Amino acid sequence: MALSYPLQVVNLLAALLLLISFAMLSQRRIAGLVTLFAVQGAALSLSTAIVAWSTGQHHLYYSAALTLGLKVFAMPYYFFRLIRKLDVDRDVEPMITIPTTMLIGIVLVIFAFNLAMPISQMSGTVTRSTLGIAMASVLLAFLMMITRSKAIPQVIGFLAMENGLFFAATSATYGMPMVVEMGVALDVLVGVFVLGIFFFQIRETFDSLDLKHMEKLKER
């Protein structure tokens, strides 16, 4: 059965989310990572709004607006200010090479699609076909977290992973209850501000945001 036009657009945005996840893996500059994170948030917000319009799930409009406000405007603006104040707009130094990371990412995508296949068959939503992409986005974001040595890229990876989880929830069950989404959004927002303060403390102590310097705090 042919998909309706709105669902075709959702599938296109899902593919865009996956491409952005790979672009984030290969991005060497912190400012570029922040920009890609904002674009990912915009695609996620638009996808959520289209799902809300095509399925009549009106609570998803609030989720889309919340995602737009936090992930596209507030958090990227905050990260760009941190980059300017900390003067860390330099090449990101991954722990493993970019080609190796991309190969691992391809393996994770194949694994995610095979893992999501039986789950999507049990789901009754019209967007269940995008569940594999959502799970792949989560795994790619997690890969970015563990292959970066700088603090800010690791936080962006965590937020990108939260984007993938939100997209997975939308694909499988048309999202979480609004009170849960508000609580998660508040926790993430507070966490980002606290981590911003933590960045300044790391920079003041070690004159660098490379987390490998934290090993110096181990008891001898």
Q: Output the DSSP codes for 49-73.
A: HHHHHHH--THHHHHHHHHIIIIII
pTM of the model: 0.85
The residue extents of the domains of the chain are 5-217
Q: DSSP assignment of 154-192, as one string? A: HHHHHHHHHHHHHHHHHHHHS---HHHHHHHHHHHHHHH
b/e sequence 54-75, b meaning 16+ C-beta within 10 Å? beebeebeebbebbbebbbeeb
- 50-64, 73-87, 105-119 — which one is most confidently predicted on average? 105-119
> Can you state the angle between helices 151-173 and 178-206, rounded to 10 degrees?
170
- 17-21, 78-82, 93-97, 189-193 — which one is most confidently predicted on average? 17-21
With residues binned 3-state (H G I as helix, E B as strand, rest as coil), the percentages for the chain, rounded to 5, are: 80, 5, 15
Who's near 169: CB < 8 A, 6+ residues apart? 175, 176
Query: Does the pLDDT value for residue 124 go beyond 90?
Result: no
Which residues partner with 114 through β-bridges? none
Query: What pLDDT score does 1 carry?
Result: 43
Q: Which residue has the higher pLDDT, 207 or 5?
A: 5
Query: Does the pLDDT value for residue 217 go beyond 70?
Result: no
Query: Does the pLDDT value for residue 73 go beyond 50?
Result: yes
Who's near 115: CB < 8 A, 6+ residues apart? 132, 135
Quick one: pLDDT band at residue 220, thresholds 50, 70, 90? very low
Query: Does the pLDDT value for residue 170 go beyond 60?
Result: yes
Q: In the chain, pLDDT over 90 holds for what percent of residues?
A: 34
Q: Which residue has the higher pLDDT, 155 or 139?
A: 139
**CA-to-CA distance for 150 and 105, rounded, in angstroms?**
20
Which residues partner with 148 through β-bridges? 94
Q: Which residue has the higher pLDDT, 110 or 56?
A: 110
Query: What pLDDT score does 187 carry?
Result: 66
Average pLDDT over residues 103-132: 87
**CA-to-CA distance for 152 and 194, rounded, in angstroms?**
12
Query: Does the pLDDT value for residue 85 go beyond 70?
Result: yes
46 burial via Cβ count (<10 Å: 0-12, 13-18, 19+): middle
Own/partner long-range contacts of 1-4 (Cβ < 8 Å, ≥24 apart): 4/54
Q: What is the pLDDT of residues 142-169, one digit of tens each?
A: 999 888 877 788 888 888 988 998 898 8
109 alpha carbon, distance to own chain's centre: 15
Query: Does the pLDDT value for residue 214 go beyond 60?
Result: no
Q: What is the pLDDT of residues 40-51, one digit of tens each?
A: 999 999 999 998
E strand or H helix at 85? helix 75-86
Query: What pLDDT score does 129 carry?
Result: 82
CA nearest to 11, candidates 54, 56, 47, 55: 47
**CA-to-CA distance for 14 and 129, rounded, in angstroms?**
10
Average pLDDT over residues 131-151: 89
